[in-house]
Structure 1
Amino acid sequence: MDVIEGIKGNNFVVIGRAGMDLYPDPPGTATEDAQTMTVALGGSSANIAAGICKLGGRASLVTRVSDDSIGRYCVKQLQTYGVGTEYVTLVGGEFRNSLAVYESRVEGHQSVIYRNGAADFEMSEADVEAVDFTKFSALITAGTVFAAEPSRSATFKAFEMARAEGIPVIFDVDYRPYSWPSAQVASDVLSKAAAVSDVIVGNDEEFGFMAGSIENGLGKARALAADSAQIVVYKMGAQGAVTFAGNEEITTGIYPVDALKPTGAGDSFMAGFLTSIANGHSLHTSIMRGSACASITVSKPGCAPAMADSDTLEKFLTSHPGPTPVGSN
């Protein structure tokens, strides 16, 4: 399986949640002081899909949303961004879409996530079996899909079906402790998912979590690249990233900006990274373009609304003085 060729197809099936984001206006306002909130599309997988479409790629989301006004809002927003919703299924009863309330500030930043009875966790193997994987060039998912059943088994089924069609599996570790029944379950399941993925993206804490300690995280990333994955991106926040691909170790810095908030960076990195590979950029350049997308997103309110389109990315790269050397602050 040639992972790069799959990504170059620039047509992704993305598995995981779409949710509603709420954030206080104006930027800098604490939630407890809010008089006005802005509403936007959220959810890690939905953000990735929206970001891909804004950068000229194609993406369809596989998930469940609540059969109510919030679920319909999410579907409508996905369609506004150009994300395919043919595999988005409604679920009734007491299941609800995820809701995130977060602030557009760095100092004292608060994010509150509501995930009780989450609609997306009700995604089933039948939902996945309805997907025509031959239509897509690669599969993407974020780790939150594995936190509960039946979504966990359904996603592993999707991995099997994608690999049977020769479609690469791209995995954003995206560990969110509040979604999981225990740290041990999370470590076991996320490690299992990483072992059957072709591209793995995560931060130092996430790789360290799978390895048992943060000190062992870099070794875990290197081992996954040696054993199974073709590309592993080990992100270190302000310290940049190390990417393992074959016999290469690529070290990269970041594009410093005045951050408005810490949220959305990982989703926008993934969108920029993949669409850059799809557009023929080298692996090193694609990592840097993903990093630029992350910087753009954290400098604006919202997640999906803040993600770069192609013009915004090119203007940013032209005007920015350039990335930091790896390891610098």
Structure 2
Amino acid sequence: MKLDVICLGELLIDFVSTAKDVELIDSPGFVKAPGGAPANVAAGVVKLGGTAGFIGKVGDDPFGHYLKRVLDELTVDTNCLALDREARTTLSFVAQKPDGDRDCMFYRHPGADMLLSAADIDEAYMSQGAIFHYGSISLGSPSSKEATLQALAYAREHGLLISYDPNLRMDLWPDQEYARKEINEGFGYADIVKISEEEFRFITGCSTVEECGRYIMERGPKLVIVTLGKDGCYYTNGELSGYIEGFKAEVVETTGAGDAFVAAVLQGLAERKKAGQPLFDEQLPQLLQFANAAASLATTRIGAIPSLPTREEALARLG
């Protein structure tokens, strides 16, 4: 089975506040929603018309079985999703504060995703992908980091395009310096990096998006994209660079927006890769505009995976 995108990392339950513009301490209740950045990307690729597989580990508990069912129903391939009896499925509680920032707290001591190991990575499975996508959270525990590095080695050996999302979640790291070191290490393995406006200053030490783009490109990637929320995104491949305008939206909750963006970019690049077309040429702005449309739609619904748009919805958003 050939797959457009193979994603590795966390799959968890987001409990999203039923009230808007409040912090967690004042949230009156929560709605259960499936999430986890790499899993969101896999789901987003499928909803946009591509094929995707997910490598990860959840607890052998009701939440883990629920998450597997969600991916199965979306037709995300879960042959490499393991159910673990040693740890429970990771939970996250999320609220959107009055200033628009997220208030987020994880229950993960440890979460099953932290126990993914190198032995869980199947080389034959990895060889079936066109693109491999991972995030920084799987670099944060020894076992899952070893698994990620093993997957990266197989991806490089079999010619997959490699995508990385730093996805900063400070409360999952023991301290800031360790987080910065490990997240920066991730740049060196990637062909494509998507980083957000909220993340890049802490991670890179840069003060502008242009400086950030140069900093990351110097570490090996061929394309860097900085997402700018409602203002769209900035991109550079070292030769071409520019800003792509965003779309206005009635924002309900922003959890899945960045992952919807990444899914749209990777699904488009997978199509080009399979067709033998150039990946990072003058057609990039058109693809990034589509990704901005997908991201804007994801902010209009509650939850990460439930908010991800279909291809038809994203195309309609483009007008």
1:34 aligned to 2:34?
Answer: no
Give 3-state SS (helix, strand or coil) of 1:294's partner.
helix
1:190 aligned to 2:183?
Answer: yes
In the other structure, the counterpart of 1:326 is none
Looking at structure 2, the residues matched to 187 and 256 of structure 1 have their Cα atoms a distance apart, in angstroms, of 32
Looking at structure 2, the residues matched to 30 and 306 of structure 1 have their Cα atoms a distance apart, in angstroms, of 21
Looking at structure 2, the residues matched to 97 and 283 of structure 1 have their Cα atoms a distance apart, in angstroms, of 37
1:72 aligned to 2:73?
Answer: no
Looking at structure 1, the residues matched to 212 and 99 of structure 2 have their Cα atoms a distance apart, in angstroms, of 32
Looking at structure 1, the residues matched to 143 and 6 of structure 2 have their Cα atoms a distance apart, in angstroms, of 19
Give 3-state SS (helix, strand or coil) of 1:112's partner.
strand
Looking at structure 1, the residues matched to 245 and 311 of structure 2 have their Cα atoms a distance apart, in angstroms, of 21
1:219 aligned to 2:211?
Answer: yes
Looking at structure 2, the residues matched to 165 and 23 of structure 1 have their Cα atoms a distance apart, in angstroms, of 39
Distance 1:106 1:273, change over 3 A: farther
Amino acid at match of 2:53: S
In the TM superposition, what whole-angstrom CA distance separates every residue of 1:250-286 from its partner, at most 9, and x where no partner exists? 2112111121123211111101122233445921111
In the other structure, the counterpart of 1:204 is 197
CA contact (8 A) 2:165 2:194 kept: yes
Amino acid at match of 2:207: E
Amino acid at match of 1:98: T
The normalised TM-score by structure 1 is 0.85
In the other structure, the counterpart of 2:276 is none
Write out aligned runs for 1:98-177 (5 A).
98-103=90-95, 110-129=103-122, 132-177=125-170
Distance 1:133 1:278, change over 3 A: closer
Amino acid at match of 1:311: E
In the other structure, the counterpart of 2:297 is 296
Structure 1: gaps (5+ residues)? 1-8, 319-329
Coordinate RMSD, CA, aligned:
2.4
In the other structure, the counterpart of 1:249 is 241
Looking at structure 2, the residues matched to 130 and 191 of structure 1 have their Cα atoms a distance apart, in angstroms, of 26
In the TM superposition, what whole-angstrom CA distance separates every residue of 1:268-319 from its partner, at most 9, and x where no partner exists? 110112223344592111111111111101111121111100121122222x
Q: Which moved more, 1:223-232 or 1:196-205?
A: 223-232
Looking at structure 1, the residues matched to 111 and 192 of structure 2 have their Cα atoms a distance apart, in angstroms, of 27
CA contact (8 A) 2:123 2:154 kept: no
CA contact (8 A) 2:5 2:266 kept: no
Looking at structure 1, the residues matched to 124 and 248 of structure 2 have their Cα atoms a distance apart, in angstroms, of 40
Distance 1:192 1:100, change over 3 A: same
Distance 1:203 1:23, change over 3 A: closer
Give 3-state SS (helix, strand or coil) of 2:106's partner.
strand
CA deviation after TM superposition for structure 1 residue 131, in Å: 5.1
CA contact (8 A) 2:105 2:171 kept: no
In the other structure, the counterpart of 1:268 is 260
Looking at structure 1, the residues matched to 242 and 99 of structure 2 have their Cα atoms a distance apart, in angstroms, of 32
In the TM superposition, what whole-angstrom CA distance separates every residue of 1:10-34 from its partner, at most 9, and x where no partner exists? 6111001111122344767876453
Give 3-state SS (helix, strand or coil) of 2:49's partner.
coil
1:229 aligned to 2:221?
Answer: yes
Looking at structure 1, the residues matched to 213 and 174 of structure 2 have their Cα atoms a distance apart, in angstroms, of 25
In the other structure, the counterpart of 1:322 is none
CA deviation after TM superposition for structure 1 residue 68, in Å: 1.2
Give 3-state SS (helix, strand or coil) of 1:305's partner.
helix
Identity %: 23
CA contact (8 A) 1:87 1:131 kept: no
Structure 2: gaps (5+ residues)? 273-278
